[in-house]
Structure 1
């Protein structure tokens, strides 16, 4: 009966009686999305969830490098910003352009893993400026708003390079491709596959090479017309000693067998993800 009588002593009871640092220590063992949910329990949890040491443990070891990239072309704004670690994490989880609008990076909200996307505009593509073979299409299907569409070619070669500082871990590289020409009709997405040909004769070859001599190759026949597919290129690993230095990547897509033409291919971007996230997506 006494348990139902309200506490008139003015002292806190239940969760509110817990020390804030104890709550923060518990929150540190949860993932960021869980921390944000618990921050809504009461003021104690909200204050504890803002502790810098919690969010610093969730940030990648090179978060200062990443923030420098966020403000790379805005020295005035960088000098004025003094963010708490919680706000740093939130800022890095946004889409952050890199060197203009053709590349961007972000952190996964739940795991803090670093991902990157590289537009076709940042790649070297054989004949890309010749409108007899390629066209540039505006579309909502791409995070970069445009894709490159191949009408027909004998020789397909796409090369890309990237120099960046990655946190320790294993990463997977993909080319995001689509067979068929996407468009909209009466507000609905449609796909014209009339020009799709040649991809079932010989496979496409993918390659990945790193500046520390990691190298992978894979081959794959392109299929699934009308759907965007992330075609696996390979994995690379960043050790603890390499997480504070720049890694140079070279990646390519080729189908250079000139015995037949191929066409009807859309090229959107190259995607780099932590392998753990990529495996879950598969």
Structure 2
């Protein structure tokens, strides 16, 4: 009786992942230890790379995946993966991960520099951001270079506003300096002063000594990409300075914020509105974490389409003139995509 031919068993998912891990480990010595944290921590990514490449590279079979051929190991390596396959996979990675993978080999490096990959990472309105810059700064750049350029703050409106894209998500973020807002009494130095500081991205903050009518208003019109955005104020009770290299806070002017809450509000050109109230200090006049900057969330708004441009207006006011209030620094207003805001919230406190 003729015996049936013996075929090697198909590898299970578990075995395939073990094969992938072994293959990646073999390539670590060749491509550097930086391959370990990303690929070994994500066997699905490595498995997908090897699976896709096995469909594109001639001569690969299940026996290759098992790493067995006449007793020798000739399994696929990272160097066998076609650049087009790599490009399909890295579209699902974040920009920092793409840059790390570019160090593996030539195929990864070529795919990680592809304009088709980086254009997918840019926001839909990235050309509006480029219009804020001189054309010679981006005319000869690749899409990867454009992404790197736009991930740095781009000032506009006499430097009182900045826009940039988040390096992890490619989402558009914006900040507006206190100098770009209308502050009641800002011209009178009995009430307000400008303080130069490295603690602000604009290098200057507005400091209130004392006033009865406290009001800060602002507005911006911009072609924001579709999405949900969060608007917040960055505020600091008291003023600060450096003495002998140490940061020192002064609260001699800080008063009145525990008597009545401050009202925050925002509105958009398409009719969206949000408002809230915060006591900036508790009944004893203290603020939790009073020696640090705090972000006070005003609300959220939704942009459905980049055209026409969305106008956002906001205000912060405490206009009860029965008592004075003072001792506060106003830095800026941030307009940040909600997912980026939530990620930042996990890193630092947000009111």
Partner of 2:295: 230
1:51 to partner: Cα distance: 1.0
Q: Quote the offset at 1:227 in angstroms.
A: 1.4
Post-superposition CA distance 1:221-240 (Å, at most 9, x none): 1133221001111111011x
- Alignment of structure 1 residues 259-270 onto 2, 5 Å: 259-270=322-333
User: What SS class does the counterpart of residue 299 from structure 2 fall into?
Assistant: strand
Residue 279 of structure 1: how far off its partner (Å): 2.1
1:22 partnered with 2:85: yes
1:1-282 matches, within 5 Å, as: 3=72, 14-69=77-132, 71=133, 74=134, 77=136, 81-223=139-281, 224=287, 225-239=290-304, 242-282=305-345
**How many pairs align?**
269
Counterpart contact for 1:55–1:86, Cα < 8 Å: yes
What is the alpha-carbon distance in structure 1 between the residues aligned to residue 280 and residue 253 of structure 2? 14
Q: Deviations over 1:156-185 (max 9, x none)?
A: 111101000111100000111000111101
Q: Deviation at 1:2?
A: 6.0
Which residue number corresponds to residue 10 of structure 1? Answer: none
The normalised TM-score by structure 1 is: 0.91
Structure that is richer in helix per residue: 2
Aligned counterparts of 2:117 and 2:158: Cα–Cα separation in 1? 32
Following superposition, the deviation at residue 190 of structure 1 comes to 0.8
> 4+ residue stretches of structure 1 with deviation over 3 A?
1-4
Larger strand percent: 1
Q: Distance between the aligned counterparts of 2:103 and 2:81, measured in 1?
A: 16
Q: CA deviation at 1:33?
A: 1.1
Supply the distance in 1 between the matched residues of 2:102 and 2:113 (Cα, whole angstroms).
Answer: 8
Q: CA deviation at 1:98?
A: 1.6
Contact 1:31 1:110 in 2 (8 A): yes
Q: Distance in 1 between matches of 2:93 and 2:107?
A: 17
Shift of 1:86: 1.0
Report the secondary structure of 2:131's partner residue.
Answer: helix
Q: Report the Cα offset of residue 54 of structure 1.
A: 1.0
How far apart are the structure 1 equivalents of 2:322 and 2:103?
A: 64
Q: Structure 2: which 5+ runs fail to align?
A: 1-69, 282-286, 346-351
Inter-partner Cα distance in structure 1 for 2:148 and 2:72:
42
**Mapped partners of 1:86, 1:100: distance in 2:** 28
Q: Larger C-alpha radius of gyration, 1 or 2?
A: 2
- TM-score between the two structures when normalised by the length of structure 2: 0.74
